[in-house]
A = this chain, B = another copy of it.
Amino acid sequence: MIMGNTALGFESSNDGVKTMPLPTEDIASAIERLMVSCKEEPFFDHGDPRPIPSQESIVEAIQQAKHLIFPGHVAQTGSDPASLEHFLRHEAKGLFENLSEQIALAIRHGGLTPNRDILRCSQLGYEIARRFIGALPELRAVLVTDVRAALEGDPAAKSYDEVIFSYPGLLAITVYRMAHKLHGMDVPLLPRMMTEYAHSLTGIDIHPGARIGQSFFIDHGTGVVVGETTEIGERVRIYQGVTLGALSIPRDDVERFRDKKRHPTIEDDVIIYANATILGGEAVIGARSIIGGNVWITESVPPDTKVLLKKPELVYIGNGAG
């Protein structure tokens, strides 16, 4: 008998085989030990009655904001101006209610300040959500430049539709731009939860704190890392596996580096090819420069410069050796 996870419970049986009862003692013992551990490690239990931000609601907020920004590409029915306006109003209302609640929860739950005033959290959630809605047209204006940059930068791109429907780089940038806006209004937890959602879908890991100019294009994208204090100019193009990261930090010195500029600056019109690594807060890649694939640098590059790996020495064995 394979035991069914039935409405009648685990012990039900319909074939006469002796049923096996729940191992209640083992379960009780495990729970007792888990609860002791929750008490001992107060940071890990949240044993007080504070609700927490919901991953599902945050994903929904991202969808709602996308509906508002690219209405024609997400609605399953077409729309004349009147029904478009109706659709936008509906989505805006839903986004506002959802986001104001999640922001309030995130502020209350913001880790180090657990006992914030509840009403104040709600007021902050209300105010920040209101400003976020007001910023949607400017978010759309920037994202339109990103869509254009993808179509112009990739010979395989066939149409704006294809970019909006299926380019992971555009998804990651869209979510990053939303999260960056909330990050700029000091919302805890939510911005990173949003960008990690995009990271899980695309393999592109952009910290919400990074600052990125318009017409940004990421091709393929898997493995891209853009660190917290990175600054990127306009019309920059990067490929899969590019890391804009921090130099190594001594094990006992992590605290000294919090909130410092640890990641590079990329000026306007730079192109960075696949799997290149640029590290450190001092590195500035000058405007219009091109960084070749697999290059690994920790220093600045002047404007209008091409940096390539010296042709690596390869060893040929067999036919190719001759």
**Cβ of A211 under 8 Å from chain B:** no
Oligomer: number of copies: 3
| Given A3-B104, A78-B50, A274-B243, A200 and B26 contact (CB-CB distance below 8 Å) | no
Q: How far is the CA of A71 from the CA of B203 in the complex (A)?
A: 28
Q: Please, which residues of chain B bring their CB within 8 A of the CB of A133?
A: 23, 26-27, 30
A318 close to B304 (CB less than 8 A): yes
Complex partner residue of A49 from B10, B80, B200, B306, CB under 8 angstroms = B80
Q: Please, which residues of chain B bring their CB within 8 A of the CB of A44?
A: 70, 72-73, 144, 147, 160, 164
Q: Please, which residues of chain B bring their CB within 8 A of the CB of A41?
A: 144
Instruction: Tell me the nearest residue of chain B to A273, going by C-beta.
Output: B248
Q: Which of A293-312 contact B (CB under 8 A)?
A: 293-297, 301-310, 312
Instruction: Tell me the nearest residue of chain B to A91, going by C-beta.
Output: B31
| Given A4-B101, A71-B45, A193-B165, A271 and B254 contact (CB-CB distance below 8 Å) | no
**Cβ of A110 under 8 Å from chain B:** yes
Q: How far is the CA of A183 from the CA of B301 in the complex (A)?
A: 42
**Cβ of A182 under 8 Å from chain B:** no
Complex partner residue of A158 from B79, B111, B251, CB under 8 angstroms = B111
Q: How far is the CA of A187 from the CA of B321 in the complex (A)?
A: 45
Scan A240-272; emit 1 where CB is below 8 A from any B CB, else 0.
110101101101001101111010000001010
Q: Please, which residues of chain B bring their CB within 8 A of the CB of A49?
A: 77-80
A34 close to B137 (CB less than 8 A): yes
- Interface extent on A, as a size class? 35 or more
Nearest CB on B from A60, distance (A):
10
Residue of A23, A109, A316 contacting most chain B CB atoms (<10 Å): A23
4 extra interchain contacts, Cβ-Cβ under 8 A, other than A154-B254, A240-B243, A308-B317?
A: A10-B96, A111-B158, A248-B271, A277-B293
**Cβ of A174 under 8 Å from chain B:** no
**Cβ of A14 under 8 Å from chain B:** no
Q: How far is the CA of A257 from the CA of B118 in the complex (A)?
A: 58
Q: Please, which residues of chain B bring their CB within 8 A of the CB of A319?
A: 286, 289, 302-305
B78 close to A160 (CB less than 8 A): no
Nearest CB on B from A224, distance (A):
8
Q: How far is the CA of A273 from the CA of B280 in the complex (A)?
A: 14
Q: How far is the CA of A254 from the CA of B84 in the complex (A)?
A: 35
Q: Please, which residues of chain B bring their CB within 8 A of the CB of A153?
A: 254
A306 close to B296 (CB less than 8 A): no
Nearest CB on B from A311, distance (A):
8
Q: Please, which residues of chain B bring their CB within 8 A of the CB of A262?
A: 155
Complex partner residue of A203 from B73, B97, B222, B304, CB under 8 angstroms = B222
